[in-house]
Structure 1
C-alpha cells in the first residue's frame, strides 16, 4: 500500500457506516512512540456521507481497489447519486410500514425530533472544516461524550488538560503533551506551533482509561 492508493473499507466497528465505502490513502505513519498506538494508514473518504473526512485504519481493515479511469466530475456525480439512493431506500423502507394516520403522525414526530437535535448541536469551533480528533481516532461513544476535547471544541485537543489520549499512558493529571507531539491530529492541524495547555480542570473521568479505543 502507498499514498494515493484507493481502498475500500472492509471493517470499522466504531463507525459501521464507513464499511463498503471508498477512500484514498493520504498518509502512512510508522510507530514513532513506543507507548502510543497509531494507525498505520490514514485515509480520506471519497464516498458516502462522510466524504472528505479523514480516519485512521489498520491494514487489515481496508482493501486496495484498482484506480478507476474516470474523471473527477464523473466520480462526484456517482457519489452524489449513491448517497441519494441510500437515503431514498431507507425512507421507502420505513414508509412501507406506515398504514395508519397515527403512523404518519409518529413519523412526523420523529423527523421533527431529529431536526431539533441537529439544529441544537453545538458548533465545531476549532474543528470547523476539519476532521475532529474523536472522529479521526474513532473514539467509542462512552469516551467521546466525556472527553473535554469533545465538550470544549473552541480549543484543539492538544491544548486541553486531561483528554483521553493524555490519560491513556500518563496517569491522572493529563498534563503531559508528549503524546501530542507525535499525534497525527496535531501534525495535521497544529502547524508545528508550540503546544501549551490552555484549559485546565475539565479532564475526563479517569475510570474511562479502562475502555479501549
Structure 2
C-alpha cells in the first residue's frame, strides 16, 4: 500500500511541525494555523529553507504582528519580494488601518498573503525532496526561524452568528451586541403593559376601559 497517498488529520501549529509530518511520510496534511494566524493579525514572513537575506542575529520570527504600532506609517509590503495580491497592491500601514477599523478586508488580505506563503513553502519542500536535500534543509529552517508564532496582541474578527455554541465550556470570543438593548426592551414592555394592542383579548380591553364584556 506504499503507493497510496498518506493523509494526516493532525493539528500542526507551526511550519516546523508540518516539516516533521512530511519527514514521517505524510503526503497531505491540514494546516489550521493559517486561519488562526490570520485571525490574530499575523502575516507570515518565512521561506523554506531560509530567507534570501538574513539581516538579524538569532532566530527570525515566523510572522509579523500587523497590530504593532511600527506598521502605522510603513508603506512596505508585508514581506519583501512576495508576489501575492496583498503585497503587490497594499502595504503594512493600510493593513494596520483596516485592523484598527475592524474591517473584514484586513483578515481577508492576510489570508490571501498567508496562503500564498504556504503555497511557496510546500513548493520548496517538494523541490527539496526531489533534490535529496530535505533533511538538511529542515535543519536549516529550524535553526533560522523561531519555533512558535508571535503572541496575538489585537482582537480577532467579529464572530458571525452569536447562536454558535462555545466548546468545552469556554466563553464565546465576542459578547452578543444586541444584549445592550435588553434594558430598552424591558422599558418598552412596561410602557405597553398599560396600552391596549390589536391582539388584546376581551378581558384586556375591559381592563383598559375600552369595553365591557357582555354576559
Alignment TM class, shorter chain as reference? under 0.3
Structure with bigger strand share is 1
Larger Rg: 2
TM-score calculated relative to the size of structure 2: 0.21
